[in-house]
Amino acid sequence: MRRFFWQAGAAQSPPTAPGWSGEPTAGDGQVTLPVDAALETDVVYARFRKGSGAWSAENESWKRTGDGNIVITGLTNEDKYEFILYAKAGTLISYWSDPKFATPTAATVVPTGMISLPLNYLEETIAASAAFQAWVGANNSAEAKDSIHPVSVGTGAGTPSLSGGALASITLADAGGGYTVAPTVTVVGDGTGATATATLSGAGVASFAVTAGGAGYTHVEIQVGGPTRPFCLIDWAANFKRSALAGGMRTFFEGEGDLVMLFRADVDSSQDEETAAWAFLNVIGAIIEDMEELAGTAGYLDIMGIERIRGPHRPEEDEVKTAGDFYEVVYGVTWSAA
């Protein structure tokens, strides 16, 4: 049921109900709500409930002015929550938005020591492959490691704020991961002239800087470039299934003792789709052969088997080819602790 709040006073039009700019993102004990406000001057609040229980009270910590995100914290992991948004302009309150649902999930904690050592060995084994070094343009294994990203890799994100029709600031919403050079930042909206840059800290985005505010904006979106390709992502199977990069994967190695490798590269636009996919797979096949030859020797992972668990494909964010043409392929790795 959509609700409308009325407060006594002079006859005025209430603000337009806010919408959603995407799907809620669940985290550890929290959910991030992407807000799409009708007017930048509207203050948007969020409320939530579990099941058919009572709605939460209005909370000043759960509001946003204009477009952006609202982060709801203090939630119980594994419980499904229902969320709504509404806008306020002075004493006037809008209808509620359509509801969205999300379930917070505890972060997977992988013990250190024995558990982390196989990942280190896997990284060394991949980096030592002559085929991998050639693929990423590295002169040696030390340089090749810059294109191997343990645990996480992803595109950074920023939340913009407008002032007087100009881009005033960009708040870091997601650091992403796997960056070796600062990504490009593109400002998209109904105004003109706004520009911005990103600064890295380690392999993630640390902050954004507005280099020109532009003019005439009522809505704006920040588009951040992804990590430089090609690269290889490695992680434990239990963690990897939670990664944004693993969105379309089916069940594979269920045990936490198994490792996963994801290789991603740009598509050769001079080739047709099938030829490009096979060319990509042939390169990865040469890397796998090198790894199998190194397996078990000093300083490298004692590999018992490598199995392709998802063939060459376009990941979800490239299915409509809006993020640049690229492919990825996923392998599972079993190893021996002996």
pLDDT tens for the chain, residues 1 to 338: 445 554 555 557 888 888 888 889 888 889 999 888 666 567 889 999 998 899 999 888 888 866 678 999 999 988 999 999 998 888 888 899 999 999 988 765 444 444 467 888 899 999 999 999 999 888 999 889 888 876 555 677 889 999 999 999 999 988 876 676 788 898 998 999 999 999 988 767 889 999 999 999 998 988 887 666 688 888 777 665 544 444 433 333 444 457 888 888 877 667 777 787 888 889 999 999 999 999 888 888 888 888 887 777 766 554 444 444 677 788 888 887 65
DSSP 152: -
The β-bridge partners of 160 are 170
3-state SS assignment for residue 306: strand
Sign of CA dihedral 267, 272, 273, 274: negative
Please report where in the chains the tokens 């407060």 appear, as a residue.
Answer: 7
Residues 212-247: pLDDT tens digits? 999 999 989 888 876 666 888 887 776 655 444 444
pLDDT number for residue 244: 40
Cα angle vertex 120, ends 118, 125, to 5°?
A: 90
Domain 19-102: state its class: mainly beta
pLDDT in tens, 117-135: 788 889 999 999 999 999 9
How far is residue 325 from each of residues 264, 274, 291, measured CA to CA in Å? 11, 13, 27
Residue 223 is which amino acid? Q
Pairing of strands 25-26, 31-36: antiparallel
Q: Where are the domains positioned within the chain? A: 19-102, 116-152+228-335, 157-224
